[in-house]
Amino acid sequence: MPASQSLSAPQKALRKLGLVRDIDLALHLPLRYEDETRLVRLCDVQDGQSAQFEAEVVSSDLSYRPRRQLVVVVRDGEETCTLRFFNAYPSMQKLMAVGQRVRLRGEVRGGFMGRTMMHPVVQAAGGELPAALTPVYPTSAGLPQAYLRRAVQGGLSRCLRTGALDETLPADALPKGTWPLSRALQFLHNPAPDVALATLEDRSHPAWQRLKAEELLTQQLSQWQSRQERLRLRAPALLPTGVAAQLPQQLLRALPFGLTAAQARVQAEIATDLSRHEPMHRLLQGDVGSGKTVVAALAAAHCIAAGWQCALMAPTEILAEQHFRKLIGWLEPLLDPLGLEVAWLTGSHKKKTREAMLALIANGRAALVVGTHAVIQEQVQFRALALAIIDEQHRFGVAQRLALRHKLQPSADVHQLGAAEPHLLMMSATPIPRTLAMSYYADLDVSTLDELPPGRTPVVTKVVSEARRDEVIERIRTQVAQGRQVYWVCPLIEESEALDLRNATETHARLTEALQASSPAALAGARPQDTDRSTREESAEMPKPGIEVGLLHSRLPEAEKKAIMARFVAGEMSVLVSTTVIEVGVDVPNASLMVIEHAERFGLSQLHQLRGRVGRGAAASACVLLYSLGEHGRLSDTARERLRAMVDTQDGFEIARRDLEIRGPGELLGARQSGVPMLRFADLEHDSLLLEWARRLAPRMGAEYPNLVQQHLHRWLGGKSDYLKA
């Protein structure tokens, strides 16, 4: 391979697109095609159509008004057309000298002054016409189509010569009528002009079907393989023993409620995994409020009962604290008599405290270790870590899981027991649509809490224009007068000129002012105008006229955030204005109203998460989605769709399905951050039959044709297969 300094600019651009090997080039497929195989008459072209025709130049002038441009008029029979070029080179003027015949390709526009073409492709008339449609490839700056086309054709023909496209699928696995890959690729790079273009565009053509099948199979095979590799690793089989053996039963007895059927089922699935030697990689998904924390607590108890340590992680410190407080509240009283402790790893600990915690973790006294992802991933030495529980992690890219696993290797003495791997339980409140789970997460086991604990009140969702802000503030006043609490969520914390969003600080100031002012409407609503003595006494017990409004955003110091959260949780603060730091995990059953400002700017899953913060108590709850029309005076279609979905349903699975429809899997998985190799050709929604086929085939192929599997994965993934070993 030549050193990169000696590469030309287009060669570098090819490399940047990942087009390194011949096979990469052969698998780089056109976005669309242009038909240069035919010439039409100008009189047959409709306005607005793209066409290729030949014509004679009747005039050619450089004009300087309104700006410098070359204006050329051509004639084909009776029809004329004006061509305009803003960058005119002398060679173009020569090509289009008066009297020359030229071949033109581009869009023909109609107009008051006659038909025009802007920057058409021009060449001398009379050249040979290509026999196949001209492919247009996805490309990048510095990589002209013509260069890319030659490179792809070169790669393809070398692949055909060297047998790099030979069949890798077992003959008995090929559905009838399947095209061989070599034929499919030859066709897609050079389709015959008589093909029904629609079948190429919607990718229903057999050639496309073959590519999609290959791609989906690659995904399934690589995930199958990573699962096999994981199953060869050894984790401790967690069976109750010693002093803490009764912990799970004790915990169940101590809980203030019984498990739902879904919780009991999922808890049993996890317990079965934990008692095996194969490291668990399980995703626990359940809608907001479905009670994942109890399940996590039971898993932790199971681990500790076997004499091992369990680590609990949340994305932020405030969430770790908020979210695990309950769990710790349940477990700590049970651990204490056993001489076991809970260790907190937070960034805000003093050095001395932190060292004490680390010592507890290293000697095993700390049975439960709680912190953020980041803190735990630092060099923390566990004596005997057997289970890592990661909460509210929305993105479980394979690469992320890989990194996490490396960081959680227990200390050397446990290594010697031959059990080097911790079990992994990931919890997500963003349910994963079935198609995604079947494809991108095929190497994970998934448990689903599909039932909410009893006693939930549905949340009424309203979409309200920003213009009715005052009414919303009135509503807050009424809620607070009834002793309820309110969240107000803003999308940004500082004024951004570009986005012109009202920032949280400003909102906080305005709300404080509005709510602290005496409130005739609310007071009138709460107490009739009445001078009766008893009523006045009652009024003395009404909440203070000054309603406390707190402000929480991500730039506040951690300690201050916690203090504010604590006041809100304790009910000392009625209204909490916040950026999305409260998005996940917070549990304040007394909060009955959530206002989301600029709701049109939030993603669907995010809105759903936020809404899940209310409706946790017995009181009727509401979520107000405040929207404002952008500079165009209207909501975008996707924003409208999202807001509608929020009003339509409260089912997290339905929301996730719609979110997938609106955003596509890349956005949903956070592909860029997680390093998930995305599907390029297949589409989970439309190709579910192919997905099923690939899912069934992968394990059989893995077992019966290991060589073909390697060949297939090498073809499609080349060096990228590192990702697949999580």
Q: Are strands 121-124 and 101-107 parallel, antiparallel or unpaired?
A: antiparallel
Strand order in the sheet with 591-596: 459-465, 621-627, 591-596, 485-489, 575-578, 549-552
Q: Nearest distance from residue 301's CB to ligand ADP, in Å?
A: 15
d(CA 419, CA 414): 6
Q: Does 294 interact with ligand ADP (rule: CB under 6 A)?
A: yes
Q: Does 89 interact with ligand ADP (rule: CB under 6 A)?
A: no
| Closer residue to ligand ADP (CB): 155 or 289 | 289
Q: Nearest distance from residue 428's CB to ligand ADP, in Å?
A: 10
Q: Does 289 interact with ligand ADP (rule: CB under 6 A)?
A: yes
Helices (H), 460-557: 469-481, 504-516, 520-526, 533-540
Instruction: List the interface residues with ligand ADP, window 440-469 (CB under 6 A).
Output: 453
Q: Which of 281, 292, 405, 658 binds ligand ADP (CB under 6 A)?
A: 292
Q: Which residues contact 696 (CB under 8 A, 6 or more apart)?
A: none
> Tokens 């681990």, residue?
303
* Stretch in the footprint of ligand ADP (CB under 6 A) among 16-24, 65-73, 254-262, 535-543: 254-262
Q: Does 288 interact with ligand ADP (rule: CB under 6 A)?
A: yes
| Closer residue to ligand ADP (CB): 296 or 492 | 296
491: burial class by Cβ within 10 Å (0-12, 13-18, 19+)? buried
| Closer residue to ligand ADP (CB): 103 or 613 | 613
Q: Which of 279, 291, 422, 652 binds ligand ADP (CB under 6 A)?
A: 291
| Closer residue to ligand ADP (CB): 261 or 467 | 261
Instruction: List the interface residues with ligand ADP, window 664-693 (CB under 6 A).
Output: none
Q: Nearest distance from residue 490's CB to ligand ADP, in Å?
A: 23
| Closer residue to ligand ADP (CB): 278 or 587 | 587
In 3-state terms the chain splits into helix, strand, coil percentages (rounded to 5) of 45, 15, 40
d(CA 670, CA 675): 8
Could you tell me how far CA 615 lies from the centroid of its own chain?
26
Q: Nearest distance from residue 326's CB to ligand ADP, in Å?
A: 6
| Closer residue to ligand ADP (CB): 260 or 309 | 260
Q: Does 286 interact with ligand ADP (rule: CB under 6 A)?
A: yes
Q: Nearest distance from residue 299's CB to ligand ADP, in Å?
A: 13
| Closer residue to ligand ADP (CB): 289 or 665 | 289
Q: What angle do CA 446, 449, 451 make, to 5 degrees?
A: 155
427 contacts 313 by C-beta, under 8 angstroms: no
Q: How many residues bind ligand ADP (CB under 6 A)?
A: 16
Q: Does 431 interact with ligand ADP (rule: CB under 6 A)?
A: no
* Stretch in the footprint of ligand ADP (CB under 6 A) among 23-31, 77-85, 198-206, 286-294: 286-294
Q: Does 390 interact with ligand ADP (rule: CB under 6 A)?
A: no
d(CA 436, CA 48): 40
Q: Nearest distance from residue 205's CB to ligand ADP, in Å?
A: 45
Q: Which of 139, 223, 260, 503 binds ligand ADP (CB under 6 A)?
A: 260
Tokens of 25: 């080039």
Q: Nearest distance from residue 260's CB to ligand ADP, in Å?
A: 5
Q: Nearest distance from residue 292's CB to ligand ADP, in Å?
A: 3
d(CA 141, CA 132): 26
Q: Does 259 interact with ligand ADP (rule: CB under 6 A)?
A: yes
State which amino acid sits at residue 60. S
Q: Is 289 helix (H, G, I), strand (E, B) or coil?
A: coil
State which amino acid sits at residue 216. L
Q: Are strands 485-489 and 575-578 parallel, antiparallel or unpaired?
A: parallel
| Closer residue to ligand ADP (CB): 321 or 597 | 321
Beta strands in 377-499 (DSSP E): 385-390, 423-428, 445-449, 459-465, 485-489
Please, which contacts does 582-585 make with residues 24 or more away whose CB atoms are closer than 8 Å? 582/487, 582/489, 582/552, 582/610, 582/613, 583/609, 583/610, 584/315, 584/319, 584/323, 584/392, 584/429, 584/609, 585/314, 585/319, 585/322, 585/323, 585/391, 585/392
| Closer residue to ligand ADP (CB): 236 or 289 | 289
| Closer residue to ligand ADP (CB): 54 or 321 | 321
Query: x/- contact string, 561-600, with ligand ADP (CB under 6 A)?
Result: --------------------------x-------------
d(CA 496, CA 502): 9
Exposure string of 618-656, with b = 16+ CB inside 10 Å and e = fewer, is: ebebbbbbbbbeeeeeebeeebebbbebbeeebebbebb
Q: Nearest distance from residue 583's CB to ligand ADP, in Å?
A: 12
Q: How many helices (H) and strands (E) does the chain have?
A: 27, 21
Q: Nearest distance from residue 565's CB to ligand ADP, in Å?
A: 15
| Closer residue to ligand ADP (CB): 134 or 430 | 430
* Stretch in the footprint of ligand ADP (CB under 6 A) among 282-290, 364-372, 458-466, 529-537: 282-290
d(CA 712, CA 169): 8
464 forms beta bridges with 626
* Stretch in the footprint of ligand ADP (CB under 6 A) among 227-235, 259-267, 493-501, 594-602: 259-267
How far lies 283's CA from each of 270, 313, 721, in Å? 10, 14, 23
Q: Does 290 interact with ligand ADP (rule: CB under 6 A)?
A: yes
Q: Which of 181, 298, 370, 429 binds ligand ADP (CB under 6 A)?
A: 429
Helices (H), 596-705: 604-611, 637-648, 652-669, 671-674, 688-704
Q: How many CA atoms lie within 13 A of 145 on its CB side?
A: 11
| Closer residue to ligand ADP (CB): 291 or 665 | 291
* Stretch in the footprint of ligand ADP (CB under 6 A) among 102-110, 162-170, 209-217, 253-261: 253-261
Q: Nearest distance from residue 174's CB to ligand ADP, in Å?
A: 44
Query: Is omega for the bond preceding 66 within 30 degrees of 0, making it cis?
Result: yes
Q: Nearest distance from residue 321's CB to ligand ADP, in Å?
A: 13
Tokens of 134: 């001209």
Q: Nearest distance from residue 619's CB to ligand ADP, in Å?
A: 14
* Stretch in the footprint of ligand ADP (CB under 6 A) among 100-108, 290-298, 397-405, 683-691: 290-298
Tokens of 205: 């053509």
Q: Does 293 interact with ligand ADP (rule: CB under 6 A)?
A: yes
Query: x/- contact string, 326-365, with ligand ADP (CB under 6 A)?
Result: x---------------------------------------
Binding stretches for ligand ADP (CB under 6 A): 257, 259-260, 263, 286, 288-294, 326, 429, 453, 587
